[in-house]
Amino acid sequence: MRSPAAAFDLRIALSRELQAAIDELDTSLERPKAVHRCRVRVKRARALARIGRACAPGLSTVFNDTARGVMRTLGHARNLDALANASRDVGKRSRGRTAAALARLAAALEAERAMIPGPDMASVRVGLRDLLALAQVWPPASPRQIKRGAERIARRARRAYKSGRGANAVVERHEWRKREKDRLFAATLLDDSWRGPRRRKASEKLDDALGLEHDVRLLLARVAAAPAIAGEDDAAERAAKALRKTCKRLANKAGNLGARVHAGGA
């Protein structure tokens, strides 16, 4: 049985995540990794803001809209990096001409990524500082409000799991992924203030499976729209077959992990 948790200071937690996001961009010499870590910090902050909706619904909406703009500015080049990495990951599990087709697909995505101008970092920094300012005026949240916010996060994740586990549409699967990510971040950041079972390891594995599955589904759409991107002859067909097989494996894995995470209505 857990001991009573100390009151969770939402304002401090939000400010810590956003200052860390700013620091990532200001101090890291490895820009792609810094952008990735910055994005993760903003996602963590968004999960906290959704918890904070219980005491500041209007502020939470403004925060989320501002954060969405920051993520959009950082996102496009990062998405191509993720797709290229996913293609290489699937290629490592393949052989011969299939592996070569997936390597060509990854190289084409990397070439496309190289042609895209870097994100407007000045705009990103302004957005992050706006978010930090919002965090610093967040009203104190009572333990009851934190509990309500956490329950809402868990409830939305359960609903998304039930809707997404048997779905084949990219939109529904991606919605499930987003809600599970919120649950993972909230359960991790709240620590003892998260009153339900955290199941962190299963939740992390579920997030990874859903994330890779999402990227593989996007790769399938790319190959279908432009088969030549994978090479000549039957290269696109070979790549698509490997991607579909991987997608099925990941969907099954996510279904099993989702059942573990949400067992008992968690």
Q: Residue 39: its pLDDT value, please?
A: 93
Instruction: Give the model's pLDDT for residue 169.
Output: 84
Average pLDDT of the chain to the nearest whole number: 92
Question: pTM above the 0.95 mark?
Answer: no
Q: According to the model, what pLDDT value does residue 151 have?
A: 95
pLDDT computed for residue 256 by the predictor: 96
Structural tokens at position 91: 């290629």
Distance CA 154, CA 220 (A): 31
Q: What are the pLDDT digits (tens) for 30-89?
A: 677 888 899 999 999 999 999 999 999 999 999 999 999 999 998 877 888 899 999 999
**Confidence band of 223 (pLDDT split at 50, 70, 90):** very high
**Per-residue pLDDT tens digits for 225-236:** 999 999 988 999
Percent of the residues in the chain that have a pLDDT greater than 90, as a whole number: 79
* Residue in this structure with the two tokens 């997936």, named with its chain if needed: 102
- State the helix-helix crossing angle for 235-261 and 200-225, rounded to 10 degrees: 160
Sketch out the chain's domains with CATH numbers: 10-261 (1.40.20.10)
What is the reported pLDDT for 166?
85
Contacts of 137 (CB under 8 A, 6+ apart): 59
The stretch 107-133 carries a mean pLDDT of: 92
Question: Kind and range of the H or E element at 201?
Answer: helix 200-225
